[in-house]
Amino acid sequence: MPHDHLSPSGHPYRKDNDHPLTYWQTMEIAVRELLIEKGVLTPAEVTAQIEAMDARSPANGAAVVARAWVDPDFKARLLEDASAASREMGFDIGPLHLIAVENTKEIHNLIVCTLCSCYPRNLLGLPPDWYKTRAYRSRAVREPRKILEEFGVTLSDKTKIRVHDSTADMRYIVLPARPEGTDNMDEAELAALVTRDSMIGTGLPKQP
């Protein structure tokens, strides 16, 4: 019987994920086991990689942004080479090629990958589900202003929008503008204002 009614808690029923493996899940397991059997990788290395990826979160990017807000020299290095600047802060971002794009009064940047869902995972962790949807990917390049409105971001008519379609080897992070009224805040307090969405360009930093 389909569970299309509400549960006693008032939430819709959600299907258990105990369906048989898909083709690609089976393929992933087969390749992983082969790599282990052939001695290319150990199970401990696989687990360590999964843990390293899970440990990455938008907090790493937020720390980079906050440093750029308080340190003009660091900001210059970030805009010149965002991979090197992130490593300089101690983040192991692997072979990631990162470009930072700066929001100003005149320019607002928005990141999308229309071909798939390229995202700076090695710095920001896993992307939000909506980032991978066809709706976001197709609309972000065609009607970015409407998308921003739906995300609750209102910009001045004078602000130009610059969309970045991450199509090949580079990944992008938006350096949002530092909110006003934050002059007395230290780096850690500033980092707490930097949201994941503000580093994609679909949001703005929190106000103090």
Partner 1 sequence: MSERVRVKAMMPPGHVRTPAYLRGKEGVIERALGHFRNPEQLAYGLPAEEKPLYRVRFTMAEVWGEQAECPTDTLDAEIYAHWLERL
Q: Alpha-carbon distance 20 to 106, whole Å?
A: 52
Collect contacts of 70-74 with beta carbons under 8 A, ≥24 apart. 70/186, 70/187, 70/190
Q: What is each CA distance from 25 to 10, 34, 44, 139, in whole angstroms?
A: 33, 14, 20, 30
Q: Alpha-carbon distance 159 to 155, whole Å?
A: 6
Q: Alpha-carbon distance 11 to 17, whole Å?
A: 17
Which residues in this chain contact partner 1 in the complex, by CB under 8 A? Answer: 97, 114-115, 141-146, 160-170
118 is known as an active-site residue: yes
Q: Is 113 annotated as a binding residue?
A: yes
Question: Per the residue annotation, which of 7, 83, 86, 116 is the catalytic one?
Answer: 116
Q: Is 9 annotated as a binding residue?
A: no
Tokens of 200: 């994609």
Q: Judged by CB, which is closer to partner 1: 109, or 198?
A: 109
For the bound state, the minimum distance from the C-beta of residue 77 to partner 1, rounded and expressed in Å, comes to 16
Q: Judged by CB, which is closer to partner 1: 66, or 148?
A: 148
113 is known as an active-site residue: yes
Q: Is 116 annotated as a binding residue?
A: yes
Is the separation of the CB atoms in 75 and 203 below 8 Å? no
For the bound state, the minimum distance from the C-beta of residue 166 to partner 1, rounded and expressed in Å, comes to 7
Q: Is 83 annotated as a binding residue?
A: no
Question: Per the residue annotation, which of 7, 57, 86, 113 is the catalytic one?
Answer: 113
For the bound state, the minimum distance from the C-beta of residue 164 to partner 1, rounded and expressed in Å, comes to 5
Q: Annotated binding site: which residue ranges?
A: 113, 116-118
Residue numbers annotated as active site: 113, 116-118
